[in-house]
A and B are shown apart, each in its own frame.
Chain A
Amino acid sequence: MSASTGPSFWEQTKMQGRVIWALLLRETVTRFGREGLGMLWMIAEPALFVVGVMVIFSFIDSGYPYGISPAEYLAVSYPTLLFWRNGTGRVTKAIEVNRALLHHQPIRPMDIIYARILLEFGSAAAVFLFLFPIFIIIGICHIPSNLLTMAIGYLLIIWFSFDFVLIMAGLAELSETIEKTSHIILYLMLPFSGVFIPTFLVPEPYRSYLLYFPLIDAVDYFHHGYFGPMVPSYYHLGYTIFALLGMTLFGLAISGVAIKRVKSA
């Protein structure tokens, strides 16, 4: 237990912001270096991944109705999984690896996690914002039907990913089994992510079951903003927000417990 008297909440917040920013810059240089393409890899690497997946699936006749090509469907789906999948890979064991940083009083363990999440999410968002206009120009995608709905859907996906990554970070720190199997969990989640199997192809009652998973609702709302009313979308917005709120609380609690465990081991 440690206690200190002094800084106000506002000063504390400012300090934490500064620390997270410092860690973010450090993480950026560590991962991308200053030589060669450097920071450009932050966008180039995931962009190559997205385009590669789109090219491969273009050869498969997926039989999407409503005149949707596989490339188009993936263009507005695949970039969403960069958030929760790559994010999870980044934060597992992040605190243990960076433990020596905790000798510095201003650095809290959560700052290390937040800095990594911020960098990964920044890269994932940059990729989409970079690729999407290009897809529109070359004709793979059309102009979004409702940009606001699409943006809200995107924010819901980011919110889900934040919660998911936080929960995985906590669980991986607490349980070696989770840490070792996190790749399997991430892989097996793919069918339940709205990325490869559109909800409109899933028969009832399974579709209703899927909608209990807030990521499906978030991705479908995002799709609704893009495709518009001509393509059926399924979501419960109120339920999704409620579920995400619950996940946020659980994520903060479990990563708090995990941090205590790391610091006392």
Chain B
Amino acid sequence: MLQLLNISKSYPMSHGQNDRVIFKDVNLTVQPGEKWGILGRNGAGKSTLIRIISGSDRPDSGQVLKNMSISWPLAFGGAFQGSLTGRDNAKLIARVYNVDIPKTIALVEDFAELGAYLDEPVKSYSSGMSSRLAFAISMAIEFDCFLIDEGMSVGDHRFHKKCDDELFGKRGDRAMIIVAHQTDIIRANCAHAAVLEAGTLTVYDQVDDAISAYEAL
């Protein structure tokens, strides 16, 4: 189970003279296997929420309780070292999560389809290539809950379909938190939805209700 209890977060603005409140008293409970969609406009604080769930940011107050292993934001290439090759980045992640290195490399070779580029520095990759690498490496580690940021839509049609099969097909039993401003991915995959707006997270009983509320904003 993943539980957010009264999470509040603000960032300093105007050189610390003001605070910009991102959200206040956010509560959310994600049970194993549940698929959650979180909708919000640009700048509503979706990415901040993802960072707090992944643990890379600290909330100002409130608690994050985790009894599940949680992925880093999927297709998120920012966690890579640009001067390292795709192979070296895969090795780092495999070591950090204590999974078999040759198996991880084999999976990444097969899935990311980077060919000889796997031995080139990541900074020479196109954006499609780096998200393919990021996605492939994420698939090498088994998580109870996947965090999916809207960046997922990068990559061409074929790769997109492969990701869908891998994530929503083979890993359909895991929990997922999908954060997006597009509604179709959430309508297609989620059974629960919430809208983040003006610092408040509102949970709706029906996904369609959340989508209409979001579209009415």
Measuring CB to CB, which residues of chain A are less than 8 angstroms from any residue of chain B?
A: 1-6, 15, 18-19, 21-23, 25-26, 29-30, 99-107, 260, 263-265
* In the complex with contacts A1-B59, A26-B81, A100-B78, A105-B69 CB distance below 8 A: yes
Measuring CB to CB, which residues of chain B are less than 8 angstroms from any residue of chain A?
A: 11-12, 51, 54-60, 62-67, 69-70, 72-73, 76, 78-81, 83-84, 88, 91-93, 95-98
* Chain B positions within 8 Å of A105 at CB level: 54-55, 69-70
Kindly identify which residue among B65, B66, B69, B76 contacts A103, using a CB–CB cutoff of 8 Å.
B76
* In the complex with contacts A4-B66, A18-B96, A25-B92, A102-B56 CB distance below 8 A: yes
**Contact across chains for A103 and B67 when beta carbons are under 8 A apart:** no
Smallest Cβ distance from B97 to chain A, in angstroms? 6
**Contact across chains for A22 and B58 when beta carbons are under 8 A apart:** no
CA distance A19 to B92 in the complex (A): 9
CA distance A29 to B98 in the complex (A): 19
**Contact across chains for B54 and A30 when beta carbons are under 8 A apart:** no
Kindly identify which residue among A30, A106, A260, A263 contacts B97, using a CB–CB cutoff of 8 Å.
A106
* In the complex with contacts A22-B92, A263-B58, A2-B79 CB distance below 8 A: no
Residue of A nearest to B81 (CB): A30
Residue of A nearest to B147 (CB): A103
**Contact across chains for A263 and B57 when beta carbons are under 8 A apart:** yes
* In the complex with contacts A29-B84, A105-B55, A1-B63 CB distance below 8 A: yes
* Chain B positions within 8 Å of A2 at CB level: 55, 63-66
* In the complex with contacts A103-B79, A263-B57, A18-B95 CB distance below 8 A: yes
* Chain B positions within 8 Å of A19 at CB level: 95-96
CA distance A263 to B80 in the complex (A): 19
* Chain B positions within 8 Å of A5 at CB level: 67
Smallest Cβ distance from B143 to chain A, in angstroms? 9
Residue of B nearest to A26 (CB): B92
* Chain A positions within 8 Å of B73 at CB level: 103
* Chain B positions within 8 Å of A25 at CB level: 91-92, 95
Nearest first, the 10 closest Cβ-Cβ pairs linking A and B are A22-B95, A103-B72, A102-B56, A263-B58, A100-B78, A2-B64, A264-B58, A100-B79, A26-B92, A103-B54
Q: List 18 A-B contacts (CB under 8 A).
A: A1-B62, A2-B55, A2-B63, A3-B65, A18-B96, A25-B92, A25-B95, A29-B88, A100-B80, A102-B54, A102-B56, A103-B54, A103-B76, A104-B93, A104-B96, A105-B54, A263-B57, A264-B58
Residue of A nearest to B56 (CB): A102
- The winner among B76, B92, B98 for most chain A CB atoms within 10 A is B92
CA distance A106 to B76 in the complex (A): 17
Residue of B nearest to A2 (CB): B64
CA distance A105 to B91 in the complex (A): 16
Residue of B nearest to A1 (CB): B63
* Chain B positions within 8 Å of A6 at CB level: 67
* Chain B positions within 8 Å of A102 at CB level: 54-56
Residue of A nearest to B5 (CB): A1
CA distance A106 to B71 in the complex (A): 11
Smallest Cβ distance from B116 to chain A, in angstroms? 16
**Contact across chains for B66 and A21 when beta carbons are under 8 A apart:** no
* Chain A positions within 8 Å of B62 at CB level: 1
Residue of A nearest to B11 (CB): A265
**Contact across chains for B54 and A106 when beta carbons are under 8 A apart:** no
CA distance A107 to B54 in the complex (A): 11
Residue of A nearest to B98 (CB): A18
* Chain B positions within 8 Å of A260 at CB level: 58
Kindly identify which residue among B11, B51, B79, B97 contacts A101, using a CB–CB cutoff of 8 Å.
B79
